[in-house]
């Protein structure tokens, strides 16, 4: 699997054991001959901090080397739109999570942050959210300075795609599209087995494909975007405007956007016709956008992910209906559409994978800095 010789592998394992990162765990059953020695990562030798942000909420979790949670996932309300204090607030959230976990900061290998917006990973900048007052630095370096830990940032949908690539449905797939259904409609692109970000890092802005003649102004400044027609935020607004007050509805309108959206999906799963209509309309419009995507990319697999797939079973029919209507059959028949198996915290898994992917780079930087 590794493409290395036995002596090289043995040498590396010995080095990892000497560093305390790997431990012997006994012998495996033999199929004939000498029983093979087995090893395992030493879980408490290193930790990663994973942060998953959307426009309204931020989730944080700290995991050990075996990806076991040190403490349950924490969710914080943090509105990104027109909020100048988001960057400082994010630093406070991460620092408080580390303090509550009670682990040595020296054992933290890094912090991975998935965030919405136009994120340039090369330059460490988010051009949409999380402003930095100092013009001489970028967001990633600013967070590293404030947190005194290595930090990696990426678009939230790319993080979900990375999670699917490492441990999800796209693990053995070369060309796959991962659709993040939430307050927006994000897209993580896997091309030839790698995350594809485009020339400047902004590939995958499915939310801003113009699919309607609507005059509704999008946050991007344009009109007719998918984001103005088919997101959880849109269906919550529609529910409040059109359904709230109906005695026959099972939707609970008490609470914030997240609670109302979850109530809509729960009600739909229970057969509430109003909730089903909301989700069906959203799914059909997403399906129309996916038809455009299939015509351009011709992927082997499309994975539906994000907080919006709690009613995945109900979304599939209208999506398939739209694909059948708008897709060329020859293209459509070769693309499978599936719902993610990673659950609502896929972005956190992707953030941890981002840290691990950059671990060698971060460790070399520590050595060069005398750390």
What pLDDT, in 10s, does the model give residues 68-106? 999 899 999 999 988 889 999 999 999 999 999 999 999
Higher-scoring residue by pLDDT: 362, 2: 2
CA neighbor of 226 nearest in space, from 205, 246, 247: 205
Cβ–Cβ under 8 Å, residues 62 and 101: yes
Looking up tokens 């979900």, which residue turns up? 160
Paired strand residues for 194: 191
Evaluate if residue 133 carries a pLDDT over 80. Answer: yes
Looking at the chain, the whole-number percentage of residues with pLDDT higher than 70 is: 97
Evaluate if residue 346 carries a pLDDT over 90. Answer: yes
Q: Please give the span between the terminal C-alpha atoms of the chain, in angstroms, as a whole number.
A: 33
Pairing mode, if any, of strands 301-305 and 119-120?
Answer: unpaired
CA neighbor of 59 nearest in space, from 78, 80, 42, 75: 75
pLDDT at residue 34, rounded to an integer: 85
Please report how the helices 257-269 and 232-242 are oriented relative to each other, as an axis angle in degrees rounded to 10. 80
Residue 35 DSSP one-character state: P
| Mean pLDDT of the 238-254 span | 93
For the chain, give the mean pLDDT: 91
Cβ–Cβ under 8 Å, residues 267 and 250: yes
Q: How many CA atoms lie within 13 A of 205 on its CB side?
A: 15
CA neighbor of 183 nearest in space, from 351, 344, 57: 57
Residues in the chain: 371
- Confidence grade of residue 359 (pLDDT, cut at 50, 70, 90): confident
pLDDT at residue 212, rounded to an integer: 86
- Confidence grade of residue 31 (pLDDT, cut at 50, 70, 90): confident
pLDDT at residue 273, rounded to an integer: 95
Evaluate if residue 368 carries a pLDDT over 60. Answer: no
pLDDT at residue 251, rounded to an integer: 95
Q: What are phi and psi of 199, to 5 degrees?
A: -60, -50
* Structural domains for the chain: 46-158+348-368 (3.30.420.40), 171-341 (3.30.420.40)
| Mean pLDDT of the 240-260 span | 92
How many angstroms separate the CA atoms of 49 and 36, rounded? 34
Q: Which residues contact 47 (CB under 8 A, 6 or more apart)?
A: 62, 63, 64, 65, 70, 101, 103, 107, 108, 109
What pLDDT, in 10s, does the model give residues 182-241? 999 999 999 999 999 888 888 898 999 998 888 899 888 899 999 999 999 999 999 999
How many angstroms separate the CA atoms of 222 and 312, rounded? 29
Token pair belonging to 302: 């499309």
| Mean pLDDT of the 23-27 span | 92
């Amino acid at each position: 699997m590794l493409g290395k010789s036995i002596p090289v592998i043995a040498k590396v394992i010995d080095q990892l054991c000497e560093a305390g990162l790997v431990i012997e765990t006994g012998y495996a059953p033999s199929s004939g001959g000498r029983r093979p020695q087995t090893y395992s990562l030493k879980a408490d030798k290193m930790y990663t901090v994973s942060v998953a942000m959307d426009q309204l909420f931020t989730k944080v979790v700290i995991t050990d080397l075996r990806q076991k949670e040190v403490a349950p996932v924490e969710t914080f309300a943090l509105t990104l739109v027109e909020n100048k204090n988001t960057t400082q607030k994010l630093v406070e959230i991460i620092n408080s999570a580390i303090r509550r976990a009670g682990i040595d900061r020296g054992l933290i290998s890094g912090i991975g942050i998935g965030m919405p917006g136009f994120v340039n990973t090369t330059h460490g900048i988010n051009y949409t959210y999380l402003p930095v007052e100092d013009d001489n630095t970028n967001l990633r370096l600013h967070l590293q300075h404030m947190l005194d830990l290595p930090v990696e940032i990426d678009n939230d949908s790319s993080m979900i795609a990375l999670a699917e690539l490492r441990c999800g449905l796209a693990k053995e797939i070369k060309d796959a599209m991962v659709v993040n259904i939430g307050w927006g409609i994000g897209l993580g692109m896997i091309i030839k087995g790698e995350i594809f970000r485009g020339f400047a890092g902004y590939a995958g802005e499915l939310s801003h494909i113009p699919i309607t003649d609507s005059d509704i102004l999008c946050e991007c400044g344009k009109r007719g975007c998918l984001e103005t027609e088919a997101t959880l935020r849109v269906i919550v607004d529609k529910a409040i405007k059109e359904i709230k007050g109906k005695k026959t509805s099972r939707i609970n309108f008490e609470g914030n956007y997240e609670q109302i959206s979850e109530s809509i999906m729960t009600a739909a799963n229970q057969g509430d016709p109003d909730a089903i209509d909301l989700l069906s309309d959203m799914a059909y419009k997403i399906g129309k956008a996916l038809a455009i995507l299939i015509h351009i990319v011709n992927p082997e697999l499309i994975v539906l992910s994000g907080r919006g797939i709690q009613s995945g079973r109900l979304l599939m029919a209208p999506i398939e209906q739209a694909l059948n209507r708008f897709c060329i059959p020859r293209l459509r028949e070769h693309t499978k559409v599936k719902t993610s198996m990673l659950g609502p915290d896929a972005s956190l898994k992707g953030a941890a994978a981002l840290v691990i992917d950059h671990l060698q780079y971060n460790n070399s930087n520590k050595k060069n800095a005398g750390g």
